Amino acid sequence: MISDFNLKLNFHNEMRNFHHGQSDMTLFALLNGERVGYINYSKYKDDSISIQYIEVIQKYRNENRRGIGTALVKHLQSMYPDTEIEWGMTTPDGSALKASLPTKVVYNPLYQEYLNKLKKIEELEKKYTEIFENKKTTQEKKLELGIKWNHLHDLEYTLKQKLMHLSASKTLIEL
């Protein structure tokens, strides 16, 4: 139960469909047992959440903007507290709702860790290049550096692949 703008709302979540690792869901807002609004959303197997549609029943929408849409979105975020909610395309009302919600940015420490490792690799590559290009460096040392350099390139490639699939941060709705 959430109390927002003096409303005592209850919520009910239902699955509409499941296909290809995607659960299509509807979250209903209930006031005294009556459905007053809902959000259609999808939950993907990788735990991402995407809003498809938000609707507040007309008679409740026109009564001084009672906060039903806000309560629905906040409840959805509370169900998935560490997951950024994707909004997709929005109507003017949807854009206004989204803009009105307080948010917080949470940085991904793993992303920063990979960036730091990548920076160290680049520094080592620069150092190896200087040694390799030095005329006093022996062939034996160059061969040793070549092996280390190949290993660094493999590590660099792996880190860049991991970074491609991570976000530096996510924006969560404050509850």
Q: Write out pLDDT tens, residues 7-42.
A: 789 999 999 999 999 999 999 999 999 999 999 999
Identify which of 86, 51, 50 has the alpha carbon closest to the alpha carbon of residue 171.
86
For the chain, the farthest-separated pair of C-alpha atoms sits apart, in whole angstroms, at: 85
Given a cut of 70, whether residue 80 has pLDDT beyond it is yes
pLDDT range class, residue 62, cuts 50, 70, 90:
low
Superfamily of domain 2-101, CATH level 4: Gcn5-related N-acetyltransferase (GNAT) (3.40.630.30)
Can you read off the two tokens belonging to residue 91? 């109507």
Q: What is the DSSP letter of 159?
A: H
What global pTM score does this model have?
Answer: 0.75
Backbone CA torsion sign across 127, 128, 133, 134: positive
Residue 47: predicted pLDDT? 81
Q: What mean pLDDT do residues 54-77 have?
A: 87
How far is 136 from 157, CA to CA, in rounded Å?
30
Average pLDDT, the chain: 92
Closest CA to 60 of 95, 29, 23, 16: 29
